[in-house]
């Protein structure tokens, strides 16, 4: 029997699988095979974004899986994200309709603001659209039934607080960089206090991140960082539990009550990253793993520097 992921319940009652497939930097050809392998292995959540330029291939893979009766639409949970030029005033609903067309879907299960900072079409200029206005647009697409849940990504606590203060649809999910060497306790506590579920991205330390270029040709700067897959405490727990270092890092986040979306384009790793349900990491083991006390953001998102809604402005000082 195929294993299945546990669920995390969003504040509106929608059930989100706790484990999904990440697809950043998966080319259309790669992602088609990856999504099929993942769904056949038991994954039900696929995480994409307009910025990943692979929604069309994911749509084709989903359609084929549904046509082949491997899965139904209702069993799947599809997340996509509006890029910074799609959250500028008046842009969100057409952007989501465009993503839906590519994905061949009537609705997405979760629609996220990929970043809090709006920019113009070619990303050459900041657009001064406060997060309250961005959130108003998310409220609109949620109420129009185009997304079963809405959330944010790379927003800081203060920005999320301002979205909540609008009194519109609550923020259902916050997707943030979160891994053993960037554990984000403050953000997780804030989200818990406001009934917002958290999804960790980069749970494996995002070893492939350095290959990325933004659509405008900008190659982001990457903070140098040690590999979490080689952390001595991770290796020790992996050996003890007869699991791989990747599985320990993934389960570390899951056992903190978070959703995870590890990315791979290799079938063996896709399966490995889903073989997580026959062991757990205790609170004591979590504390042991965190003993190194490293807290190092890898994704600096430097394209937002100087933007009035740069979420990391305080950290950059
Ligand atoms: P990640 O999942 O931490 O790491 C993915 C990298 O690890 C890939 O290079 C992959 O290579 C490799 N890998 C996968 N499984 C492995 C295993 N079992 N052992 C060793 N290496 C393994 O990093 P991520 O892709 O940056 O983050 C995950 C997902 O989160 C993304 O794909 C995307 O969907 C989402 N994300 C969101 C944001 C945001 O701003 N909201 C930012 C970044 C990512 P192969 O593919 O070659 O196997």
Q: Give residue 220's pLDDT.
A: 83
- Residue 222 β-bridge partners: 299
Q: What pTM value is reported for the model?
A: 0.98
Sheet containing 20-22, strands listed edge to edge, beginning at the edge strand earlier in sequence? 20-22, 45-47, 77-82, 110-113, 150-153, 173-177, 197-201, 259-260
Question: Of 56-60, 190-194, 286-290, 294-298, which range is least confident?
Answer: 294-298
Closest residue by CA, ligand 1 atom 20: 246
Annotated catalytic residue within 43, 52, 111, 181: 52
Q: Does the annotation list 114 as a binding residue?
A: yes
144 alpha carbon – ligand 1 mean position (Å): 32
State the virtual CA torsion across 237, 243, 249, 255 in degrees, nearest 10. Answer: -80
Q: Is the pLDDT at 209 greater than 70, yes or no?
A: yes
173 in Cβ contact with 110 (< 8 Å): yes
* Ligand 1: centre distance to CA 202 (Å): 6
The alpha helices in 168-215, defined as continuous H runs, are 185-193
Return mean pLDDT, the chain.
96
CATH class of 14-309: alpha beta
pLDDT one-digit tens code per residue, 244-264: 999 999 999 999 999 999 999
Alpha-carbon span 99 to 113, nearest angstrom: 13
Mean pLDDT throughout 256-280?
Answer: 98
By the 8 A CB rule, do 279 and 99 touch?
Answer: no
Which CA distances in Å does 14 have to 17, 81, 143, 147, 270? 10, 18, 15, 11, 25
Write the pLDDT tens digit of every residue in 64-96. Answer: 999 999 999 999 999 999 999 999 999 999 999
The confidence score (pLDDT) of residue 1 equals 62
CA of 254 to the centre of ligand 1 (A): 16
Active site residue 111: no
């Amino acid at each position: 029997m195929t294993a299945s992921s546990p669920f995390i319940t969003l504040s509106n009652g929608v059930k989100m699988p706790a484990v999904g497939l990440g697809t950043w930097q998966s080319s259309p050809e790669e992602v088609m095979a990856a999504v099929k392998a993942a769904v056949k292995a038991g994954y039900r959540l696929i995480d994409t974004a307009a910025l990943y330029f692979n929604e069309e291939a994911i749509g084709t893979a989903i359609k084929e899986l549904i046509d082949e009766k491997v899965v139904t639409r209702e069993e799947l949970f599809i997340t996509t994200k509006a890029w910074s030029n799609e959250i500028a005033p008046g842009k969100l609903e057409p952007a989501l309709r465009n993503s839906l067309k590519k994905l061949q879907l009537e609705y997405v299960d979760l629609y996220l603001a990929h970043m809090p900072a709006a920019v113009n079409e070619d990303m050459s200029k900041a657009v001064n659209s406060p997060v309250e206005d961005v959130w108003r647009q998310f409220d609109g697409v949620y109420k129009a039934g185009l997304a079963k849940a809405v959330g944010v990504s790379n927003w800081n606590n203060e920005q999320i607080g301002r979205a909540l203060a609008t009194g519109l649809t609550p923020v259902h999910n916050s997707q943030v960089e979160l891994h053993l060497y960037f554990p984000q306790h403050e953000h997780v506590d804030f989200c818990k206090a406001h009934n917002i579920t958290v999804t960790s991205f980069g749970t494996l330390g995002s070893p492939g991140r350095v290959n990325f270029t933004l659509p405008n040709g900008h190659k982001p700067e990457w903070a140098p960082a040690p590999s979490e897959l080689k952390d001595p405490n991770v290796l020790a727990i992996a050996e003890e539990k007869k699991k791989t270092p990747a599985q320990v890092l993934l389960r570390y986040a899951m056992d903190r009550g978070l959703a995870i979306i590890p990315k791979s384009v290799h079938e063996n790793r896709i399966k490995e990253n889903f073989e997580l349900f026959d062991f757990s990491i205790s609170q004591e083991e979590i504390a042991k793993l965190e003993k190194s006390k490293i807290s190092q953001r890898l994704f600096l998102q430097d394209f937002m520097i100087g933007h009035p809604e740069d979420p990391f402005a305080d950290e950059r000082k």
